[in-house]
Amino acid sequence: MDKEQLAKLIAEKIDAAYKASEHPKKFFITENGRGVVDGGDLYNAVLKDVLGVVTVAVTDIFQALMAASAAPAEKPAEKLAKVSTKK
C-alpha cells in the first residue's frame, strides 16, 4: 500500500469516526475565554485543519511502522554488538 492509498484510507476512517461521534457543533472560545456555540466558519476552519494534521501524522506513523516491519529484523547478538561499540 503506497502513501496516497494509506492517506486516503485514514482520511475515510477519520471522516467515518467524526460522523459517528457526538461533538459540539460550531463551538469556539472568545477573547475572554468563554465558550460560545455557533462559531460558524472559524470552528469549521480549525476543525478541518486539525483533522488534516491528524491524517498526515497518522499516515506517517503507519508508513514508518510498515517500513520497520518490512525491514529484516536484527538478531539479538547484532543489537548487542551495536550497543557495546557505541560506548
Residues whose CB falls within 8 Å of the CB of residue 2, separated by 6 or more in sequence, listed in order = none
Per-residue pLDDT at 44: 72
Return d(Cα 80, Cα 69) in angstroms, integer.
20
Residue 72 has pLDDT above 80, yes or no: no
Percent of the chain with pLDDT over 90: 6
pLDDT-derived band of residue 28, with 50, 70 and 90 as boundaries? low
CB 37 within 8 A of CB 25: yes
- Mean pLDDT, residues 44-73 taken together: 84
- Domain of residue 35, residue span: 3-86
* Count of structural domains, the chain: 1
Q: DSSP 3-state assignment of 36? A: strand
Is the pLDDT confidence value at 41 over 60? yes
Kindly report the pTM of this predicted structure. Answer: 0.58
pLDDT at residue number 12 = 92
Distances from the Cα of 27 to the Cαs of 23, 32, 62, in angstroms?
9, 15, 31
